[in-house]
Structure 1
């Protein structure tokens, strides 16, 4: 397999082929690259574009028999997940990415919003989930792609061979999707539900492709590059930027199914010669610590773009010291923006709050929280964006929810607070929902967490997330600190006092938990923590 991977990945043009839809671009690529290796995972090995093409057609024949419009996909980062995705598109259905890391209540909401009745999944994932979460009563039928493959009839095998020889346009005509256009829905994702119930986010083919075009200019891959993807497909960054992007430009991609298994990720980086990677900061930190234990230099890795959370200065310094050959950049985005909004450049200030300049096709405006009018240069306010990558509105409810009308055009409000610096880069101060007003002052809960994380003895030198601060709604705002280690109110508030925070900022409650609940992408589940704080102290 390694020989095949190394010898058939060269002499290919890395660019986005023309097409109105993600499906058309993919089918065109399959027709051009044929025997070139497209991807690898530890279960299926290396697949060529022709092999992927055949698998997509085989699955699409089965899926096209479903009467419902929306078909769910609940799979980890893997070849199978994206075969399923393209197959759902080819069958004329709408792919819906299900986040299995959420609670059953949130999954039910997602299924109701989209009327999903069937979800494509894998035996391995369900065995893993049954072991870790117990057997859950999902609100839809589970369809195992391993079983679907076994049930392909001899007549269907003949059809697959015939269809594989058709041109992209002819194949789309056969499946009745020749009329697929750029404004049609290419995928339905969901907001993370970090602070409230998840919302359905329909992204069009144009949204995804335009975001990929901007990422292509930034990554500027060459024929020696190999990309790794381990973020789950329900995560916008993992889905579009880390997986669809390489698949649609002809860049070889290595899938790792579990971001919580950094040992496997390190092994694949070294054995497959991975050069490019997208990650969240916490998962990349796991990889660095594992590489250090295994005494490997990750010598092939040249560029890592982190998103989904703040790149802390300590992680940047650690990367520079351990692996000076790795260029580290930070991106900022939102599911609603397909997802990339900004990426740091070589000239961007190397500070924690800086998330870089807007990508091509994206405009950023900073507006006042109170008056909703643009602020002066350098002033902070709500971050609003517009562009070809921005979605058209949430499923159900008010189509303009989350947007603001300025100068006759709708801008999407990201929910973040920030400002544009003198360099033209965007600096983020935190989520609007993670600010609370205490004594007339706006206090960032993220800033408090940062202070406590760097000063409380129990939080120092820990690999896992060890604390989180939540608001407890009462007549007067009170703050609750959750920790995974023993501490006291006196110790906590002494740390805040020594950090010279405002005298009115104090923690009112401390509660030790076994672990901080996390979302599937490694960020704290503040919705669960908020509910726990209310039940304990509300």
Structure 2
């Protein structure tokens, strides 16, 4: 079974049920499936064949879903790309990913003009219209890349509903997800049809997703968290997606209230914005049966405050691109443990090991490794990195974790973010949790910086809602709950912390920002 085939079957069962709502418009499952079939057929008529690579430079929209599932139905490999990346970042992925077709909004026309001579392998640029057709056509005809240009609507119109799709193998690569590239160039994680289908199915089952659910799809669709939890899993379950192009606390409150949303999936930053929103009315969220958090560790103070204020359960989970992505979630049929990423989902094993690969005792800290049908095939054109990451069928995540006696896992921190102060281990998240508990703190990030005496020192970068909060007050707050060597030696107040498009705080970008500002730290 694969995602596109299953959607075709779901469309038979729920033909007239809304598959999604988007900016006041909607589509039934039957209409969505027809558009997917015709788009796949239209691509085939352009000479695109099974195994070819297609890149999606799209935000949250029906275009993304139709392009994704249409490409999968034709047996293509899809490469979702963040459309706000720079030309150099996009160019690297398109070149490294051997892309033949690019699907993008017409707003990216200048980008195509700039890149097409540098990327001769690209045979077609398919542009999704956001402007009046006559205006878009006039702009396209002026471009030197014009012969390669195609209109999304024309590709769909040219397709045939008689198209049956191709026979796909479970281990065929369906999607290549390029990691954020915190060190060096991004790596393309190859996810198979089996990886994607199994994880979407298991996540949907674990969260008890059903055809009565209305899921807020506001996380970026090109990101694996949204792709599985808020797009693939709902479509497998016959649920309805409430597609939001861009996160706004005001719009989210209105959407949930107006459409009776039942599931919200977000990252910790989104929950923080919703909690801090002055006009946030708990009554507007009464239809929610579940909130899901992932992408980064959710501060315990924020989790408790949010649940108390809005009277809705947050189930925190864990995943990574290389695992399609979910490996753990807090179960719904047992107590949720604050600070935990939950237990292993169905068919997936998680284990905490030491440097020798031996499982550590309960409560001990080690590296989290994962095994299951969701684990990637490998990194695209990077065999050495694949061998280093997957050993004896276990994916090594690089995250430090511990497990309690009931099988709940807790992320301690990224292995590479560990701070060593005078020989003692300091995990940034532990310090961040304490600072988050201060009532005046909105956000915080903790980093290790070189120190001539202790090897490294702990620095905290704080965003506060109280301009009167002092560094000494934060330090005294830390002293009450942390050992002396864990208390930040330096505390700086910032207007905001750097984040990626999913809202995850970027420690590496913060390090770069600080290095440029002070010019003295060698990270």
SS at match of 2:501: coil
Shift of 1:454: 3.7
Shift of 1:67: 5.7
Structure 1 CA distance for aligned equivalents of residues 380 and 259 of structure 2: 40
Shift of 1:184: 0.8
Structure 1 CA distance for aligned equivalents of residues 252 and 306 of structure 2: 17
CA deviations on 1:145-166 (whole Å, 9 max, x unpaired) are 226557628xx84x64xx32x4
Structure 1 CA distance for aligned equivalents of residues 21 and 433 of structure 2: 38
Shift of 1:429: 1.2
Alignment of 1:157-176 (within 5 A): 157=157, 160=159, 163-164=160-161, 166=162, 171-172=164-165
Alignment of 1:10-21 (within 5 A): 19=1, 21=2
Shift of 1:340: 1.1
Structure 2 CA distance for aligned equivalents of residues 29 and 67 of structure 1: 26
CA deviations on 1:494-536 (whole Å, 9 max, x unpaired) are 554444433376535x666553211111111222222234442
The residue number in structure 1 matching 2:340 is 354
Q: Output the aligned Cα RMSD.
A: 3.2
- Which of 316, 337, 345 is the matching residue for 2:303? 316
The residue number in structure 1 matching 2:11 is 30
CA contact (8 A) 1:438 1:505 kept: no
SS at match of 2:284: coil
- Which of 346, 364, 383 is the matching residue for 2:350? 364
CA contact (8 A) 1:471 1:477 kept: yes
Compared with structure 1, are the counterparts of its residues 448 and 322 closer, same or farther at alpha carbon in structure 2 (3 Å cutoff)? closer
SS at match of 2:56: strand
CA contact (8 A) 1:39 1:252 kept: yes
SS at match of 1:332: strand
The residue number in structure 2 matching 1:12 is none
SS at match of 1:234: coil
SS at match of 2:368: strand
Structure 1 CA distance for aligned equivalents of residues 152 and 362 of structure 2: 61
Structure 1, gaps ≥5 residues long = 1-18, 173-177
Q: Greater CA deviation, 335-344 or 493-502?
A: 493-502
CA contact (8 A) 2:299 2:436 kept: no
- Which of 254, 258, 276 is the matching residue for 2:263? 276
Structure 2 CA distance for aligned equivalents of residues 300 and 204 of structure 1: 35
Q: Greater CA deviation, 371-380 or 386-395?
A: 371-380
CA deviations on 1:358-379 (whole Å, 9 max, x unpaired) are 01111112111x3332222332
SS at match of 2:378: coil
CA deviations on 1:322-375 (whole Å, 9 max, x unpaired) are 332x2321111111111111111257665443111101111112111x333222
Aligned length: 485
Determine which structure has greater relative contact order: mean sequence separation of CA pairs < 8 Å that are 6+ residues apart, divided by chain length: 1
The residue number in structure 2 matching 1:15 is none
2:518 is aligned with 1:518? no
2:445 is aligned with 1:468? yes
SS at match of 2:342: strand
- Which of 383, 405, 408 is the matching residue for 1:422? 405
Structure 1 CA distance for aligned equivalents of residues 182 and 376 of structure 2: 20
2:76 is aligned with 1:93? yes
Alignment of 1:6-155 (within 5 A): 19=1, 21-42=2-23, 45-64=25-44, 65=46, 69-102=52-85, 105-116=88-99, 118-123=101-106, 143-146=126-129, 152=154
Q: TM-score, normalised by structure 1?
A: 0.80
Q: TM-score, normalised by structure 2?
A: 0.82
Alignment of 1:385-396 (within 5 A): 385-396=370-381
